[in-house]
Structure formats: C-alpha cells, structure tokens
C-alpha cells in the first residue's frame, strides 16, 4: 500500500483543498492510504472519511501540532491537541490517545525543529524523513533516523490536491487496517517512495500557501 502520511485540507490556515478533491486525486494517483494532518485541527478528518467511505482508500485520522519546539505529527489522533505546548507535553498527549508522535520536517527550511532531537529520541516515535515540499533537510533527517534506529514516515505535505502522493511510505500488503499500517511503521516494515517537488513547484506551492493564509486572515 502506498501511504501519503502528511496531507492538509481547507481546515488548515494555508490550504483550500476540499475533501472531495483530496480523495479523488489520491485514488486517481494510486495512493491507497492518506493521513489527514491539518494544522492544530481535526475537523477535516471526518469530512474526508465520510467522502471516502465507499472509495478504495484508507484514511488515517491525524493532526500536525505546532509545539513550542516545532511541528509534530500525531497519527491516529481523534481529539485536538493544544498548540504551543513543549515537545514533551505534545508527545505525551499524542501517546495518551494511542497515536504515533512523529517529528515533521525536522530540518526543513521554513519550519525546522528548534530543539536538538537527540534530547527527544527516547520519547518520540519517529521522524518524517521525506517531505516533498522541503527545499533542504530530508537527507539530514534520514541520517538522524539511521543513527538512532528510529521509526520513519514520509508524506507529500500537500496543501493542494495536485501534489498528493508525490512522496509516500510503501507498506507491504493490501486492504490493511489503520492498526496494521501503523504496526508496519512501528516495525520499520516499509520503505520510502516518490520524489520531492521540483524547485519551481516548491516556490509556487509556498507562494500559494502564503496567499491563502493572507486571504483567510482577512
């Protein structure tokens, strides 16, 4: 199964992506599983699940929480988690829900993690090692995961449906449940697929996100 584990809907402040378009584009591109990870929001999850219920795609509920130290993905999360907590507090709240706590784009150019991750390797579940929208930093994330033998994930970080599935995590098996996918990730029984956005796509995608954020603000 091809799993894109970092997707944003219009519930995120910098996305206008509709649940219908997200699911339709994913199915068209042969993506079997999506994690909906809006910024500090979970409202988009239910809308995507409702639209996808008769489609051949698995939806994992999630969130991208802005902690004081940086962005943390929570996979298999059903309740919102407050922003601006410490990394330790955010990770604890994710795990209290039985979710996986994944450091998002830790060495990304826009929103790098502010803490030395070696301080957190004993409590995090893993690290996102391939984020399609990152200009630099994916290689360094891979090196960190290898050094500390951590769980890893990958995702397009798509705020526009057209970019869904650009990068993904490949998990062996078909028609797996959420727990089966997460168990494969925990066991590192998976591999990264796809590629980053082109330089032109990265620039235009970031510009579009900025404009959407500005328009929503006003």
- Residue 147 sits in a domain of what CATH number? 3.20.20.140
Query: Do 178 and 58 meet the contact criterion of CB atoms below 8 Å apart?
Result: yes
What is the Cα 9 distance to its own chain's centre? Answer: 12
* Average pLDDT value over all residues in the chain: 96
CA atoms of 28 and 78, how far apart (whole Å): 27
- 142 class by beta-carbon count within 10 Å (0-12 exposed, 13-18 middle, 19+ buried): middle
Give the whole-number percent of the chain exceeding pLDDT 90: 97
Mean pLDDT of 92-105: 98
Number of H helices, E strands in the chain: 6, 9
pTM for the full predicted model: 0.96
Domains in the chain: how many in total?
Answer: 1
User: Comparing 99-103, 133-137, 166-170, which segment has the lowest mean pLDDT?
Assistant: 133-137
Domain containing residue 200 = 2-217
Task: Give residue-wise pLDDT tens across range 153-203.
Answer: 999 999 999 999 999 999 999 999 999 999 999 999 999 999 999 999 999
Q: How many CA atoms lie within 13 A of 5 on its CB side?
A: 36
Stretch 124-145: mean pLDDT, rounded?
Answer: 96
The model's confidence at residue 218, banded by pLDDT at 50, 70 and 90, is: confident
pLDDT at 111 over 90: no
**Residue 86 confidence class, pLDDT cut points 50, 70, 90:** very high
């Amino acid at each position: 199964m091809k799993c894109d584990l970092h997707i944003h809907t219009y519930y995120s402040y910098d996305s206008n992506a509709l649940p219908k378009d997200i699911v339709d584009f994913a199915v068209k591109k042969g993506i079997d599983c999506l994690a909906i990870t809006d910024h500090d929001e979970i409202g988009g999850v239910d809308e995507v699940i409702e639209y996808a219920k008769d489609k051949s795609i698995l939806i994992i509920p999630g969130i991208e929480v802005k902690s004081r130290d940086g962005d943390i993905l929570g996979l298999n999360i059903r309740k919102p988690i407050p922003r601006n907590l410490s990394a330790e507090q955010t990770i604890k709240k994710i795990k209290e829900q039985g979710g996986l706590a994944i450091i998002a784009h830790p060495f990304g150019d826009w929103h790098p993690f502010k803490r030395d991750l070696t301080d957190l390797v004993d409590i995090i579940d893993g690290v996102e090692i391939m984020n399609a929208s990152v200009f630099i930093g994916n290689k360094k994330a891979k090196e960190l995961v290898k050094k500390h033998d951590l769980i890893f994930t990958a995702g397009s970080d798509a705020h526009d449906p057209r970019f869904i599935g650009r990068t993904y995590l490949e998990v062996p098996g078909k028609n797996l449940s959420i727990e089966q996918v997460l168990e494969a990730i925990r066991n590192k029984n998976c591999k990264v697929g796809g590629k980053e956005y082109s330089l032109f796509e990265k620039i235009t995608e970031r510009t579009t996100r900025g404009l959407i954020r500005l328009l929503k603000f006003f």
